[in-house]
Amino acid sequence: MPKFFVPKENIRDNKILIDGEDVTHIKKVLRLGIGDELNMCDGAGMDYTVKISEIDNKTIQCDILTKQKSDTESNIEVTLFQGIPKGSKMDYIIQKTTELGIVKIVPCIMSRCIVKIESEKEMIKKQQRWQKIAEEAAKQSGRGIIPQVAMPCKFSEALDLMKQSDIYFAPYECEQENTLKKALTSVRDPFRVSFMIGPEGGFALEEIEKLKENGIPTVTLGKRILRTETAGEAVTAMIMYSIGDINIT
C-alpha cells in the first residue's frame, strides 16, 4: 500500500486532509477513489491507515482507521556531513542514505569542493531541492520520518556540530590503523552517530589536521578507495549493520 507524508496541521478530528502534488498522484496515477485505503505518515514517526471519504479538484479528505508508531525507524540517529560534490552526485547520496535510515544530511563547503555556491539565494534553492529529494526517497522506502537536509555549512562549523554526537569520525584513505569497527565500539549504547565524507579529491591536509585538533578520529574503510558518492551509503549501511537496525542472521 502506498505511503504519503502529510503535515501535522492537516491531521485533526480523526481526519487527514491531503493537498498539493499528492492529490494528482493518488487520483491520476494510482487511480484511487472513495473507499480506498492509504498509508499516511506525519513525518515525525507516526503512521496512519486511512480511508478516502471525499475527493475534489485540489484536496482529498480521509478518515483515520488506525494510528500507530512507525516501525521503520532505527534505534540510532545517524548524521552525514557530506562535502558537496558536483553534478547529480548529491542527489544520489541523499536518496541512498535516506533509504538506509539516515536522520540528517549536512552539506559541507570544503577546500576541494568543485561546486561553488555564489549566493544565499542559490544556497536556499539547492537546499530546498535536496530536501524534496529526501522526501521522495523517504516516501519510496517507507520511512517514518523525512530526513532533514540542512543548509550548507562551512567545514569549521561542521566540526562543532559533529562533536554533539556520541560517536563521530571521518573515513580517510590514508588512515591505516584506526578502524571503523573501533570507532563504532568506542561508546557503549550510542544513540547519535556522525561522520564526515570529503568531496571529490577527498580531504585537504589542513582539514585532516583540523579534524585531529578537534579530537575527531579518522578511520580506514579498508584497502580500496571509495568515491564520494559511494562512501556515504556504504558507511551508513555499515553503521546500521553494526549498531543499528539492519540485522542479518
Mean pLDDT over each residue of the chain, to the nearest integer: 93
Q: How confident is the model at residue 3 (pLDDT cuts 50, 70, 90)?
A: confident
Which tens digits make up the pLDDT trace of 125-184?
A: 999 999 999 999 999 999 999 999 999 999 999 999 999 999 999 999 999 999 999 999
Average pLDDT over residues 13-32: 92
CA-nearest of 157, 215, 223, 226 to 186 is 215
Average pLDDT over residues 46-69: 93
CA-nearest of 45, 76, 72, 70 to 240 is 76
Long-range CB contacts (within 8 A, 24+) of 56-62: 58/19, 58/23, 59/17, 59/18, 59/19, 59/23, 60/17, 60/18, 60/19, 60/22, 60/23, 60/26, 60/27, 61/15, 61/16, 61/17, 61/18, 62/15, 62/16, 62/17, 62/18, 62/38
Q: Is the pLDDT of residue 191 over 60?
A: yes
CB 41 within 8 A of CB 3: yes
Average pLDDT over residues 42-60: 92
* pLDDT value of residue 19: 93
Q: Judge residue 32's burial from the number of C-beta atoms within 10 Å of its C-beta, 0-12 exposed, 13-18 middle, 19 or more buried.
A: middle
* pLDDT value of residue 132: 95
What is the DSSP pairing of strand 11-12 with strand 15-19? antiparallel
* pLDDT value of residue 245: 87
Q: What percent of the chain lies above the pLDDT cut of 90?
A: 85
Q: Give CA–CA dist 103/35, Å, rounded.
A: 34
| CA distance readout (Å), 147 to 13, 30, 139, 157, 193 | 27, 25, 11, 20, 14
Amino acid occupying residue 247: N
Evaluate the CA torsion angle 161, 166, 172, 178 in order and state its sign: positive
Average pLDDT over residues 174-201: 94
Does residue 35 come out as left (phi exceeding 0), alpha (psi in the -120 to 50 range) or beta? Answer: left
Q: Give CA–CA dist 202/29, Å, rounded.
A: 42
Which tens digits make up the pLDDT trace of 78-125?
A: 999 999 999 899 999 999 999 999 999 999 999 999 888 878 888 999
* pLDDT value of residue 225: 92
Q: Is the pLDDT of residue 248 over 80?
A: no
* pLDDT value of residue 94: 98
Q: Is the pLDDT of residue 1 over 80?
A: no
* pLDDT value of residue 16: 95
Q: How confident is the model at residue 76 (pLDDT cuts 50, 70, 90)?
A: very high
